[in-house]
Structure 1
Amino acid sequence: MENIIYYNIKDEPFGIYGLYNPKEEDVFKRMPDDVAKATSKDVEFHAKETAGGRIRFTTDSPYVAIKAEMPYVANFPHMPVTGTSGFDLYVHEGGKDVYKGTFMPPSDMKNGYESVIHFSDRKTRNITIHFPLYNHVNKVFAGLQKGSFLGSGHRYKYEKPIVYYGSSITQGGCASRPGNCYTNIISATLDCDHINLGFSGSAKAEDPIAEYIASLDFAIFVYDYDHNAPTCEYLEATHERMFLRIREKQPNKPIILMSRPDFDASKESSILRRNIIRKTYTNALARGDKNTYFIDGEKLFMEKYRDACTVDNCHPNDAGFVRMAEVVSSVVEMLLHQF
């Protein structure tokens, strides 16, 4: 394109959210290398996948382009490349972020791509760009028409982040695009910052990740840990232990406990796991904890059409994530009003 200028998003005035020390680290990541390595080899890999990352800025450019450099392309049979490796563009309107388009990755992408989204008119817009859910990203550049205004992005109404911890579902598998992960839907709708610490197949409540989360200055902790515990016995041995580690360091912060959403796939196991998670909750209440909450995973997909909410009887599709966002956000919104 003619008259386009590319800007490194690590430079001012761009804001980068949901990622660890994003303007100083060599590549984008969700947590410090030493914590990820101490947690597990799998978490060390997945921590460099950019789920929950966002770029924010203001411009009156009639288009926004991106140029992204990636070391590989995440290619799954059950998830579109727009979700694993694409970027989404939102504009802040009426107190929330509204989807305007996806920077569409080419089908033959190998190590990154360039894409552009045009607007129908020229005016100043508050832009949010969502990072890919399942890809490593080395560099990102934002392209604007030469001479366009470029300023700082909209600041979140709730600036202290919500922290989510859990499995591939928490990370966003298998949304068709990044903005449709339930954590991103809640952020866009409620105008709140967040950090996504979902790790595909690797959320096992290890002590290093528990200590790291306990050290964060969060508004709310959403404890979406269930799926990756290999057995019910393992879940019972680790679920309350991690909760107590975080509660010890964060005695007054709201903590939401969730059981897995794909309840119907294995009802007997789902009931056993739900009972373990609910026990963490009831034990907290018995100790006088008045700021712990429980969401029953069986309710997340609601009733009608619940069998249409996954791609593989496990991972939510967009319909499943929208329903998860609706249920979880009702609790999150109530708690955010305390701030």
Structure 2
Amino acid sequence: MKHSLGILAVLLWSSVQIFAQTDWYNPFGKGEIPVQGRCWNEEIGAKYHRLPDRAEKVVRKALWDLSCQSAGLYIKFKTNASKIQVKYTVTSGFSMPHMPATGVSGVDLYMKDADGQALWCAGKYSFGDTVRYTYDNLTYPRQSDKGNEFCLYLPLYNGVNLMEIGVPAGSHFEFAAPSKKKPVVIYGTSIAQGACASRPGMAWTNILQRKLDFPVVNLGFSGNGRLEEEFFRLLAETDASLFVIDCMPNMTEDDRVGLIADRMAKGIRILREKSQAPILLVEHDGYMGYRVSDAERSRFEKTNEQLRLCYQELKQKVDGLYYMTFEELGLSMDSQVDGVHATDLGMFQYAEAYSRKIAKILFP
């Protein structure tokens, strides 16, 4: 009995020692909130939400609930640690039938090297009452004493609570302040939110953020990018460098197609009352089963026809209005999981198309 108690004591002591050797950092500790990829940062405060609390009384419940998911949020920090741990809890189920737990509920870490290139970090993970990711044996070619900058992307389809980032005791660690640059603000659907990326870094908005090395705000809401006046009024509060309106995948229903022109015109008018930032309208990316189904082709082509007519009329009246076509998006046959939502290949193709278009608008 004494022998067993002795072994237990040693194990407990070892656990305490291991825990004591890790310094844990809460993004919502003291100082400026380091969460990036959202507007209203100070107003939202210590929550991994995308809209301020007052929006709950403005938008439909379905949209509000989705805004409490952390899609597109990211945290940058600098460290020289050889090991980085991340632990947090989530608010709902880990996965969906067409999207894995690593995309729905996981995090994703990238290191920026001395040349400014974003390098993916492969981590070990476990999903339980607390989700844990461990990035071990990290090395830093040509690092400074403070190490390199990291970018941690948060879950795409889950809410996050109680997140901490741990490094070995004595390692340098500091959160990066949010960028002061005006962001690209994207209003869209489930595809913009991140369905169905295998991990958060593969959502096209996050790929775009890395490719442009520029702040991007993800306001994609699964099934709820419906061009509603109430949301455009919130959107108009943001100090964007560019507004992207990519809502056509949620406007294909027969009772919505006829609303496209009126809602878009009203929304653009609301934006122009507050901002002169460029506005990019985007066609439906297409249901990739259309090659063998005329019905599928008709469903997205009718929305694109309406959007194109709307753009032709509005561009005569609105300065700084741009347009991206189905052909410019250029998704390939294997770019979707279910004929609607993007695979990682589709996400990459989306980001490629957007980066080309946005570069011409913002960095001619």
Displacement of 1:239: 2.4
* Offset of residue 14 of structure 1: 6.8
Moved more, 212-221 or 272-281: 272-281
Q: Is the 8 A contact 2:44 2:52 kept in 1?
A: no
Counterpart AA for 2:242: I
Q: 5+ residue gaps in structure 2? A: 1-17, 291-295
- Structure 1 residues 292-321: Cα deviation after superposition (integer angstroms, max 9, x where no partner): 11111243234xxx1100000000000001
2:184 to 137, 153, 162: 162
Q: 1:292 and 2:321 equivalent?
A: yes
What is the aligned counterpart of 1:129 among 143, 152, 165? 152
Q: What is the one-letter code of the residue matched to 2:315?
A: L
TM-score scaled to structure 2, two decimals? 0.84
The alpha-carbon deviation at position 280 of structure 1 amounts to 2.8
Check conservation: 1:37, 1:43, Cα contact below 8 A: no
Of structures 1 and 2, the larger Rg is shown by: 2
The counterpart of 2:266, out of the listed 203, 228, 241, is 241
**Contact 2:188 2:246 survives alignment (8 Å):** yes
Whether the 8 Å contact between 1:259 and 1:295 is mirrored in structure 2 is yes
Aligned partners of 1:36, 1:279: CA distance in 2, in Å? 33
Distance, in Å, in 2 between the alignment partners of 1:152 and 1:5 is 14
Unaligned ranges ≥5, structure 1: none
**1:8-28 Cα deviation digits (max 9, x unpaired):** 111347721023436963531
Shift in CA distance, 33/13, structure 1 to aligned 2, threshold 3 Å: closer
Q: Secondary structure at the match of 1:126?
A: strand
Aligned positions, number? 329
- Which residue in the other structure is 1:50 paired with? 70
1:97 aligns with 2:118: yes
Output the amino acid matched with 2:116. Answer: G
Q: Which structure has the highest helix share of the two?
A: 2
In structure 2, the residue matched to 1:140 is 163
Letter in 1 for 2:118: D
Considering fraction of residues, name the structure with more strand. Answer: 1
Q: Secondary structure at the match of 1:279?
A: helix
Q: Does residue 347 of structure 2 align to residue 326 of structure 1?
A: no
Q: Do the aligned residues in 2 keep the contact of 1:73 with 1:110 (CA within 8 Å)?
A: no
CA distance in 1, matches of 2:86, 2:234: 32
Cα displacement string for residues 93-148 of structure 1 (whole angstroms, at most 9, x for unaligned residues): 333433223563x3xx3543122102442541101100000000122100011001
Q: 1:219 aligns with which of 221, 241, 244?
A: 241
* CA spacing shift, 1:100–1:14, aligned 2, 3 Å: farther
Instruction: Pick closer, same or farther for the CA change 1:153–1:16 going to 2, 3 Å.
Output: same
Q: Distance in 2 between matches of 1:67 and 1:205?
A: 36
- Residue 203 (structure 1) aligns with: 225
Once the two structures are TM-superposed, the CA of residue 74 in structure 1 deviates from its matched residue by 3.8
- Residue number in structure 1 paired with 2:308: 278
Within 2, Cα distance between the matches of 1:36 and 1:195?
A: 19
Task: Say if 1:127 and 1:179 are closer, same or farther in 2 by CA, change over 3 A.
Answer: same
Match of 1:117?
A: 135
Structure 1 equivalent of residue 193 of structure 2? 171
**81-90 vs 203-212, which deviates more?**
203-212
TM-score normalised by L of structure 1: 0.90
Among 288, 308, 313, the residue aligned to 2:339: 313
Which runs of structure 2 are paired with 1:9-88 in the superposition (5 Å)?
9-11=27-29, 12=31, 15-19=34-38, 20-21=40-41, 25-88=45-108
Identical-pair percentage: 27
User: Residue 151 of structure 1 corresponds to which residue in structure 2?
Assistant: 174
Following TM superposition, the consecutive aligned residue runs of length 4 or more in structure 1 with deviations greater than 4 angstroms are none
Residues 44 and 53 of structure 2 are in contact (CA less than 8 Å); yes or no, is this contact kept in structure 1? Answer: no
CA RMSD of aligned residues (A): 2.2
| Counterpart AA for 2:264 | H
Aligned-residue offset at 1:249: 2.0
**Is 1:190 matched up with 2:212?**
yes
Aligned counterparts of 1:171 and 1:182: Cα–Cα separation in 2: 9
